[in-house]
Amino acid sequence: MPIVFACAASHAPGMTAWTEAAPKQQADNFLGAYRKLGERLAACKPDAIVTLTVEHWANFFLNSMPTFCIGRAEHYDGPVEEWLRIPKGRVPGDPQLSAKLIDGCLNGGFDPTFSDELLFDHATYLPLHFLNPNLSVPVVPVIINTLTAPMPTAKRCFAFGEILGQALRGSEKRVALIATGGLSHWPGEAQHGKINIPFDKQFLAHLLAGEHHRLTAYTHDEINREAGSGGHEIRTWIALAGAVQSWKAELIAYEPIVPWATGCGLVAFNP
């Protein structure tokens, strides 16, 4: 059975950890849209959620940094951040679907790491808090290294998404796909707080126009320069575009929220 829902969403920790620091209208608009997107996800009655996600030193370090890693655990605990103001919880996994995705990758020209034990940090837990608030739908995390160079190219991330999409279309389960991260931000850097609105809008325009050749043309240096160290997370959005192919992107919200130090975007994809 098919992919029944797909969206891409930012995961700035300020959304929950220091919500009230943002101008009220901006915060209400964005978080209201986030919750409504969660209602759309629920209405699609998915059997499982696959998150195209990243992490922030929650599981991996420089002794061994996987480029792509697929979680195969029975469950995932999180969030690791005590200060996120999201209650600790346990998210059910779907090892069977994980195995199917891993096989799909190995047969399709990708050799991801797999892991039977992963913690979720805000990158995965925060979107689930809004999109799967009761943690009722099992989750399979697919982690892309956007944390530390060298990272997979945009082109390779798109191709990875294509393979995942193929594997999911061959699954008997109804699957919701969530890409998480971006847009421009410089977390913990000297430029912390900067948001490159023109970059964000251009990226969204490429996504909405289905210009896949533009998405795959982004280089590491360009993203680093224009969207910051946190902007590398747009690779998850690019992978999602690869997974859903001809689906049309729909802009749900874009807010450059300075107190959250992030260009915050929400995009749904519709068949």
Partner 1 sequence: MSLYQVQKLLYHVNRDPERRQGYRRNASAFVKTYDLTETESAAILNLDVRALYAMGVHSLLLRPFTLLHNLSNEDYAKALKED
The residues annotated with a catalytic role in the active site are 122, 185
Q: Which is nearer to partner 1, 55 or 162 (CB)?
A: 55
Part of the chain binding partner 1 (CB under 8 A), chosen from 1-9, 168-176, 189-197, 207-215: 189-197
Q: Does 190 bind partner 1 (CB under 8 A)?
A: yes
Part of the chain binding partner 1 (CB under 8 A), chosen from 138-146, 169-177, 187-195, 233-241: 187-195
Give the list of residues 6+ apart from residue 222 with CB closer than 8 angstroms, or none: none
Part of the chain binding partner 1 (CB under 8 A), chosen from 105-113, 184-192, 210-218, 250-258: 184-192
Give backbone dihedrals phi and psi of 193, rounded to 5 degrees, phi first: 105, -20
Q: Which is nearer to partner 1, 172 or 189 (CB)?
A: 189
d(CA 211, CA 207): 6
d(CA 254, CA 1): 31
- How many degrees, rounded to 5, is the angle at CA 148 between CA 109 and CA 218? 65
Q: Which of 233, 193, 238 is nearest to 213 (CA)?
A: 238
Q: Which is nearer to partner 1, 186 or 254 (CB)?
A: 186
Q: Which is nearer to partner 1, 100 or 122 (CB)?
A: 122
In the complex, the smallest distance separating the C-beta of residue 20 from partner 1, rounded to whole angstroms, is 15
Using the 8-state DSSP alphabet, how is residue 247 labeled?
A: P
* The two three-digit tokens of residue 237, written as one number: 């959005």
Q: Does 57 bind partner 1 (CB under 8 A)?
A: yes
* Angle, helix 154-169 to helix 234-244, in steps of 10 degrees: 40
Contact assessment for residue 158 and residue 241, using Cβ atoms and an 8 Å cutoff: yes
In the complex, the smallest distance separating the C-beta of residue 162 from partner 1, rounded to whole angstroms, is 29
Q: Does 189 bind partner 1 (CB under 8 A)?
A: yes
Q: Does 107 bind partner 1 (CB under 8 A)?
A: no
Which positions lie near partner 1, rule CB under 8 A? 56-58, 61-63, 80, 83, 147-148, 186-190, 192-193, 229
